Amino acid sequence: MTHTSVAAYAAPAPKAPLERITIPRRALGAHDILIEIKYAGICHSDIHTVRAEWGDGGNFPIVPGHEIAGVVAEVGAEVTRYRAGDRVGVGCFVDSCRECENCRAGLQQYCTGDLGMVGTYNATGRDGETTHGGYSTHLVIDENYALRIPESIPLDAAAPLLCAGITLYSPLAHWKAGPGRKVAVVGLGGLGHMGVKIAHAMGAEVTVLSQSLRKKDDGLRLGADHYYATSDPATFEQLAGTFDLIVNTVSADLDLNAYVGLLRTDGTLVQLGAPERPLPVAPFALIPQRRSIAGSMIGGIPETQEMLDFCGEHGLAADIEVISADRINEAYERVLASDVRYRFVIDASTI
């Protein structure tokens, strides 16, 4: 088996700036497709990972990137789903066991098999090799783990749908955001701005809860009906007991108890942000009003395709700032400062 060498951007060590390197991509297997990557979004999870904030040390050098949009360049001998020239996306995982109950139900992100969900980067694949993500020029992937990007969505604005889009679509669909339902989106960043667009398109009444009113005009333009600053204590009094569903996309510590108080009876707060430390919850925030706190992770292959098709039909995509690869480190600093409207996307031709 011969590998190909391709250019990529990697973090050589925890917290070190990313730099250009060369990585191997496996030879095309019978069911593999070779993707020429056109764009890769910068997700806050990329930053948590290269800063080793999730505690597992990590397999450095790490090539992040799990919001990938590109074009099929070549297909393996037995590939049936794709042809050269097709527009495709890759999200947060590239393989799973395919046999467990969850994989059979299309919930590959919750694979309980030995392989588990094989992350697009910083994971160990079936072949025992470390996976490398989308901050690179090419990717080889099993055809069953790729997605089809609708013609109506430009590839650069489609890339962030592969993580930010599905991460919001899945809980919004599961907890039935729709007409007559009041949904709050906490944090207007990459995930949050897709949450506003998708919840609005599903027909829900959408409220943004942001640290300040700095992005209020944007929030309303994206589809929010209401916009409040969480820095103002009056917000929590005014909105007490209001929401059926709150999706929390904040990447930092937050007092969940204050937000749970905004749920109505039987309401659910879905935790999507993954900060480094635990978030304490007071029993008496949940007990009265039978409130719930839940978690949700990206979405499976069928639901990710459903999300892409939904976005295609509703004219939805990410609001992006396209950057060249030499600006990745600068973009990371801006994401950390909440200075992103609303997703940085790397132009892979500059790698």
Residues that bind ligand NAP (CB under 6 A): 43-45, 48, 163-164, 167, 187-192, 210-211, 215, 249-252, 254, 272-275, 296-298, 335, 338, 340
Residue 79: what residue type? V
Nearer to ligand NAP, 121 or 138 (CB): 121
Compute the least distance from the CB of residue 35 to ligand NAP, in Å.
21
Please state, in angstroms and rounded to a whole number, the distance separating the CA atoms of residues 50 and 47. Answer: 5
94 lies in the binding site for Zn ion (CB under 5 A)? no
Question: Which option in Zn ion, ligand NAP, none does residue 7 bind, with CB closer than 5 to 8 A by kind?
Answer: none
Site pattern 136..165 for Zn ion (x: CB under 5 A)? ---------------------------x--
When CB distances are held under 5 to 8 angstroms depending on the partner's kind, the choice from Zn ion, ligand NAP, none that residue 210 binds is ligand NAP
> Which H or E run contains 73?
strand 68-75
- Number of alpha carbons in the 13 Å side-chain half-sphere of residue 243: 31
Return the one option of ligand NAP, Zn ion, none that residue 181 interacts with (CB less than 5 to 8 A, by type): none
What single string gives the DSSP state of each residue in 277-307?
S-----HHHHTGGG-EEEE--S--HHHHHHH
The two tokens of residue 256 are 């969940």
User: Which among 101-109, 177-185, 326-334, 340-348 is the span making contact with Zn ion, rule CB under 5 A?
Assistant: 101-109
Query: CB of residue 318 vs ligand NAP: minimum separation in angstroms?
Result: 11
Interface region with Zn ion, contact rule CB under 5 A, candidates 111-119, 152-160, 201-209, 250-258: 111-119
Of the CA atoms within 13 Å of residue 34, those in its CB half-sphere come to 17
CB of 45 to Zn ion, least distance (A): 4
Dihedral of CA atoms 154, 156, 160, 162 in degrees, nearest 10, equals 60
Q: Please check whether residue 321 is in contact with residue 342, taking contact to mean a CB–CB distance below 8 angstroms.
A: no
Give least dist CB 101 to Zn ion, A.
8
Picked from ligand NAP, Zn ion, none, the partner binding residue 23 (CB below 5 to 8 A depending on kind) is: none
Closest approach, Cβ 131 to ligand NAP, in A, equals 17
Q: How far apart are CA 296 and CA 168, in angstroms?
A: 9
Stretch 17-46: interaction string toward Zn ion, x if CB under 5 A: --------------------------x-x-
Q: Residue 133 or 312: which CB sits closer to Zn ion?
A: 133
Residues 6+ away with beta carbon under 8 Å from 293: 256, 260, 268, 269, 270, 271, 281, 286
E runs forming strands in 144-295: 147-148, 182-186, 205-210, 226-229, 243-248, 263-271, 292-295
Q: Which two tokens stand for residue 197?
A: 């667009």
Residue numbers at the binding site for Zn ion (CB under 5 A): 43, 45, 96-97, 100, 103, 111, 113, 163
